[in-house]
A and B are shown apart, each in its own frame.
Chain A
Amino acid sequence: MLNIIVCIKQVPRVTELPWDEKSGTLRRDLAAGMINPACKHALEAGLQIQEKIGAMVTVLTMGPPAAEEVLREALAMGANRGILISDKRFAGSDTYATSFFLATAIKKEIPCYDLILCGAYTSDSETAQVGPQLAEELQIPAAAYAENMDIKGSTLRVRRLVDNFRETLEMEFPALVTVSMEKYLPRYTTLAGLENAFVDSNISTYDADALGISDNAIGRQCSRTRVRKVYLRKAQKENVILTGTAAAVVSDFLNKYENKISAAIGKTIEEKEPGND
């Protein structure tokens, strides 16, 4: 039976991100989590393979202890087991470090994998780097943006659209694929499935020591980049408020912003000269 690993990430769901003013980082411990949307597509792809040809689907995540929730959600969708790697010292890791930790967990706990699936990007800090870097760390072939996968024996065929080229690639297992957001629309989680996932736990948790990651390979020591500052992208908007009847307010609005809109659309919407009527 095929052995599939799906890497998922917990991202914050809340409206107001709890921000630590002092350190300029997100208080992930305070944010309610959900499976990153892109990762759900990867999980769906894994589950479709599982249904079609049979596979053991392991979901793997790195995060705070609360990230166990997203593993349970994945189990409710149909994954067979979950692995959480969690250690305070992993906090603040960049993609270089994260891919190293994930690779270490895979080598130790799931060494006989065939296929690793990842999302195309994450919604909180869309770097899309962890998938390719994990492939590099494990020294396996990888293809990004898969829209379709065909498996024959130990050969994987991937169809994808990259930079307006439609490509069909073929590689042997083990391999890593990141799944396009356009395809593999995630299934709904049934309530019964969710209940079962909380009752019947098939989740293991490992920290750095359990994975045999030495102190000097953790956190900032391992990260290659450093975030010096984080700030809100924009200054407060002007927020002009217009009210009135639809016709009047439209005319008012267009008169005020006709130049801006004309420039953006490459046509003019300036009011025509009234003279010649």
Chain B
Amino acid sequence: MTKKQKSIWVFGDYRNYFQNRVTLQLLSKAFDLAHVISAEVCAVVFGHEVDEWIMEYTAHGADRILVIDHPSLKSYSTENYLALIEKLARERDPEIILIGATDFGREFAPRLAKRLNTGLSADCVGLDITDDGLLLQIAPSFGGNMLAEIVTEKYRPQMATVRPGTFKEIPHNYERKAIVERLPLMEKLSKSRIRLIEYERAVVREHTIENATVIVCGGRGLGNKKNFKKLDELANLLGGDVGATRPVVYANWADHKALVGQAGKHIKPKILFSFGISGAIQHTAGLGEADFIIAVNKNPQATMMKMADVAIVADASDLLGSLIKEIKKRIRD
């Protein structure tokens, strides 16, 4: 007998655009990892009428697709999906399982790991194979300010969740072929203890401050609510969102939803403008993943100024006014 083919599984999470994108991004990463450990890439798809996803996952790098297509799986159910994937994983013993850190995935993956008696790392920003052939799971820690390298040495599968947008999908290739295994729904799918009473697509924007590319944050240094409100104008110009520190939220200049930091949102913009913010840990704990930071403060010694890529020593409100004026003059599509 030849040695059993190793397999890297990617859970097919497809309910909306972002969920499906993260699945494609994971397939791409799995494709790279599979090359290093001579494994196949296997997508696992549960649902009803899922041919669209089978085709997409094949085109994006899956070698094998395990499908359970049944009317009773039409709506997402953590309990049912857990029972199904647990059974498949026990039968087939995958080396690695990757799951998108969607709301669903964050609830589903920890329970699956527990059921399979194995480890899981959350929100990995990097995945690699170590010299000793293990899955290297690089995950943020302490509000994104630190990174931890984690391995699951003795237990299998090695499991990780990854946030949408972390990896790049490979371009689709509809010529690719995959082995599609259509499996029956197991006979005694026990009655879920959770009843889905109703569900509807929410009429909320897909866009939230957590996934905004540009964010303009303001603090007490802006002086008053009127000055703070000017941030809206800059945010609109740049197609970004407004964030706030805790004192500003308490002073009612901004809504609690805009609170960035330890007790609020953790953000990861490409560009972060920070106006009149000193940089207390309660705020900066939410900034670990901001890419490029421009801080404006009268005090060049402020923590926020020290952690910035560009520190502009100026009155925050004055500078905000000038910046809006100048960008208005320059901006075009």
A161 touches B119 (CB 8 A): no
Q: Does A266 contact B (CB under 8 A)?
A: yes
Residues of B within 8 A of A246 (CB): 314-315, 318-319, 321-322
Contact B111 A135 (CB under 8 A): yes
Cα separation A132 to B109 with both chains bound (whole Å): 9
Bitwise interface map of A from 247 to 273 toward B, beta carbon under 8 Å scored 1, else 0: 101110110111011001111111110
Q: B115 touching A136 by the CB < 8 A rule? A: yes
Which listed residue, B110, B152, B239, B240, touches A95 by the CB 8 Å rule? B110
Task: Quote the shortest CB–CB distance from A13 to chain B (angstroms).
Answer: 8
Nearest CB of chain A from residue B246's CB, rounded to whole Å: 11
**A26 CA / B246 CA spacing, docked (Å):** 26
Q: Which of A123, A157, A267 sits near B285, CB closer than 8 Å?
A: A123
Q: Do the beta carbons of B292 and A260 come within 8 Å of each other? A: yes
A39 to nearest B CB, angstroms? 11
What residue in chain B is nearest A34 (Cβ atoms)?
Answer: B262
- Among the stretches A64-72, A77-85, A162-170, A194-202, the one at the interface with B is A162-170
User: Is there an interface contact between B110 and A129, defined as CB atoms closer than 8 Å?
Assistant: yes
Shortest Cβ gap from A60 to chain B (Å): 18
When the two chains form their complex, are residues A261 and B271 in contact, meaning their CB atoms are under 8 A apart? yes
List B residues 288-328 near A (Cβ within 8 Å): 288-289, 292-294, 300, 305-315, 318-319, 321-323, 326-327
Q: Is the CB of B314 within 8 A of A243?
A: yes
Measured in the bound complex, the distance between the Cα atoms of B280 and A15 in whole Å is: 8
> Which listed residue (B109, B150, B313) contacts A242, Cβ 8 A?
B313
A112 adjacent to chain B (CB < 8 Å): no
User: Is the CB of B35 closer than 8 A to any CB of chain A?
Assistant: no
A230 located at the interface, meaning its Cβ lies under 8 Å from any Cβ of chain B in the complex? yes
Residue B200 lies at the interface, judged by CB distance under 8 Å to chain A: yes
B300 touching A136 by the CB < 8 A rule?
no
Q: How far is the CB of A36 from chain B (nearest CB, A)?
A: 9
Verify if B106 is at the interface (C-beta below 8 Å from A): yes
- Answer whether A226 and B150 are a contact pair too, CB < 8 Å, given A133-B111, A167-B198, A253-B312: yes
A225 neighbours in B (Cβ, 8 Å): 119-121, 137, 150-152
Within 8 A of B (CB), among A18-64: 26, 37
| A86 sits at the interface (CB 8 A) | no
Cβ contact within 8 Å between A265 and B213: yes
CA distance A124 to B148 in the complex (A): 12
| Complex contact B146–A231 (CB within 8 A) | yes
CA of A126 to CA of B262, assembled, Å: 11
With a CB–CB cut-off of 8 A, which chain A residues contact B15? 163, 165
Q: A229 to B321: give the CA distance in the assembly, Å.
A: 45
Please report the C-alpha to C-alpha distance between residue A130 and residue B106 in the assembled complex, in whole angstroms.
11
In the complex, which of the residues B144, B147, B321 contacts A231, with contact meaning CB atoms closer than 8 Å?
Answer: B147
In whole angstroms, how far apart are the Cα atoms of A233 and B143 in the complex? 11
Are A17 and B309 CB-contacts (below 8 A) given A163-B19, A230-B148, A268-B331? no
**Contact in complex: B311, A168 (CB < 8 Å):** no
| Contact in complex: A171, B306 (CB < 8 Å) | no
Tell me whether A233 and B146 are in contact (CB under 8 A): yes
Chain B residues near A161 (CB, 8 Å)? 103, 202, 204
Please tell me if the beta carbons of B111 and A166 are within 8 angstroms of each other in the complex.
no
* Docked CA distance A225–B114 (Å): 12
Residues of chain A within 8 A of B186, CB atoms compared: none
Residue of A nearest to B273 (CB): A261
Asked if B56 CB lies within 8 Å of chain A CBs, one says no
Given contacts A99-B114, A163-B15, A229-B149, contact A241 B239 (CB under 8 A): no
B107 contacts the other chain (Cβ, under 8 Å)?
yes
B258 CB to closest chain A CB, in angstroms? 12
Is A227's CB within 8 Å of the partner chain B? yes
Which residues of chain A are within 8 angstroms of B293 by Cβ–Cβ distance? 237
Contact of A271 (CB < 8 Å), options: B141, B214, B330: B330
Interface residue? B1 (CB, 8 A): no
In this assembly, does B38 line the interface, its C-beta being within 8 Å of a C-beta of chain A? no
Contact yes or no, A233 B332, CB < 8 A? no
CB < 8 Å neighbour of A125 from B118, B141, B213: B141
B79 at the interface (CB under 8 A from A): yes
Among A1-9, A138-146, A210-218, the stretch in contact with B: A138-146
A144 touches B106 (CB 8 A): yes
| A87 beta carbon closer than 8 Å to chain B | no
Q: A251 contacts which chain B residues (CB < 8 A)?
A: 326
A163-B16, A169-B197 given; A239·B309 CB < 8 A? yes
In the bound complex, CA of A13 to CA of B198 (Å): 41
Chain A min CB distance to B127 (Å): 14
Contact A224 B195 (CB under 8 A): no
Tell me the bound Cα distance from A166 to B109 in angstroms: 21
Q: B residues within 8 A CB of A114?
A: none
**Which among A164, A224, A271 is the interface contact of B16 at CB below 8 angstroms?**
A164
Whether, in the assembled complex, B333 has its beta carbon less than 8 Å from a beta carbon of chain A, the answer is yes
Q: List 9 interface pairs A-B (beta carbons < 8 Å), by A numbering.
A: A126-B122, A163-B18, A163-B103, A164-B201, A223-B119, A242-B313, A249-B319, A265-B240, A267-B332
- Closest 3 A/B residue pairs (Cβ): A224-B119, A225-B119, A129-B110
Known: A96-B113, A163-B19, A237-B293. 17 other contacts (CB 8 A): A132-B110, A171-B194, A224-B117, A225-B152, A227-B149, A231-B146, A233-B144, A241-B312, A243-B312, A246-B314, A246-B321, A249-B322, A253-B312, A265-B239, A267-B239, A267-B331, A271-B330
What residues make up the interface of A, taking CB atoms closer than 8 Å to B? 13-15, 17, 26, 37, 94-96, 99, 123-133, 135-137, 140-145, 157, 161-172, 181-182, 185, 223-233, 237-244, 246-247, 249-251, 253-254, 256-258, 260-261, 264-272
